[in-house]
Amino acid sequence: MAVEIKRVGVIGAGQMGNGIAHVCAAAGYEVGLHDISRDRIESGLATITGNLNRQVSKGQITEEQSRRALDLIKPAPQLEDLAEFDLVIESASENEQIKRKIFSQLCPSLKPEAILATNTSSISITRLAASTDRPERFIGIHFMNPVPIMELVELVRGIATEDETFEASKAFVAKVGKTIAVAEDFPAFMVNRILLPMINEAIYTLYEGVGSVEAIDTAMRLGANHPMGPLQLADFIGLDTCLSIMQVLYEGLADSKYRPCPLLVKYVEAGWLGRKTQRGFYDYRGETPVPTR
């Protein structure tokens, strides 16, 4: 069943979800934004408004373009509100059971020709697709964070993904102005298969006392010309997300080189998840971030 994508549903109004909604609306798509509470949706809309205003102030878009994009985004408090959408992108927590639960609740409402996508950064597309009623119309569309700024999208087919779904997804990604990198359905795909072990190794370097938080980040910024240090980046991503991805790699590839650093596990157990909780490898509660080790 051919489908022309005109309306895009986004499940999850957090950092990734509101970014996806932002770029979809800016490209002219009608967007339905869903989360588990109205407060979370409103918070996501406020973030989108702030980011659009920032783009206006920098001269990247006009006031009219900003207003038009905001007008295209509507709250979708119930999953059933996405019933008539052509593409629905799940961007919930990087937890397979949470994603499966969402799909089981969502699929009965979707029209048969709708494409269902996941923004997972590590979990098997084939396995997630098998938990839905439309594995042939299921695909991984992995945006990078922050979505309005980062140019890349990893497109990942499951074993059952049909060519029509793949081509429609390619056209969608092109329309939102992103560059596609096609990845095979292996744990963590390409970007995180390379990036997260580097971050995990930086945490091991801290754990073993080779360097302090500040020294490690300075070394990689100035010695490898990275825009931010790996520990600062881990805080930005979220330490719980970093741990989830490392666990997917460790379990999926059965190689000890992907074992999550015990210090990463300890920080997550403490609830020190990075910027979103105000503490991680840095403490963000003051005027300037302060290393916690």
Among 243, 282, 293, 250, which residue's Cα sits nearest to residue 93?
243
Q: How far is CA 63 from the centre of its chain?
A: 27
What is d(CA 141, CA 125) in angstroms, rounded to the nearest whole number?
Answer: 10
Residues 6+ apart with CB under 8 A from 179: 151, 152, 153
Strand 30-34 to 73-75 pairing: parallel
Is residue 121 annotated as a catalytic residue, yes or no? yes
Contact 11, 102 (CB under 8 A): yes
The catalytically annotated residue of 154, 169, 200, 244 is 154
What is d(CA 112, CA 1) in angstroms, rounded to the nearest whole number?
Answer: 8
Is residue 145 annotated as a catalytic residue, yes or no? no
Contact 201, 194 (CB under 8 A): no
Two structure tokens written together for 139? 């695909």
The catalytically annotated residue of 18, 34, 124, 142 is 142
| 254 phi-psi bin (left φ>0, alpha ψ -120 to 50, beta other) | left
What is d(CA 22, CA 31) in angstroms, rounded to the nearest whole number?
Answer: 9
The catalytically annotated residue of 119, 169, 192, 244 is 192
- Give, in degrees to the nearest 5, the angle at Cα 149 between 286 and 180: 140
The single-letter DSSP state of residue 186 is S
Amino acid at the residue 31: V
Is residue 154 annotated as a catalytic residue, yes or no? yes
The catalytically annotated residue of 18, 51, 91, 121 is 121
Q: How far is CA 99 from the centre of its chain?
A: 13
Q: Which residues belong to the active site?
A: 121, 142, 154, 192
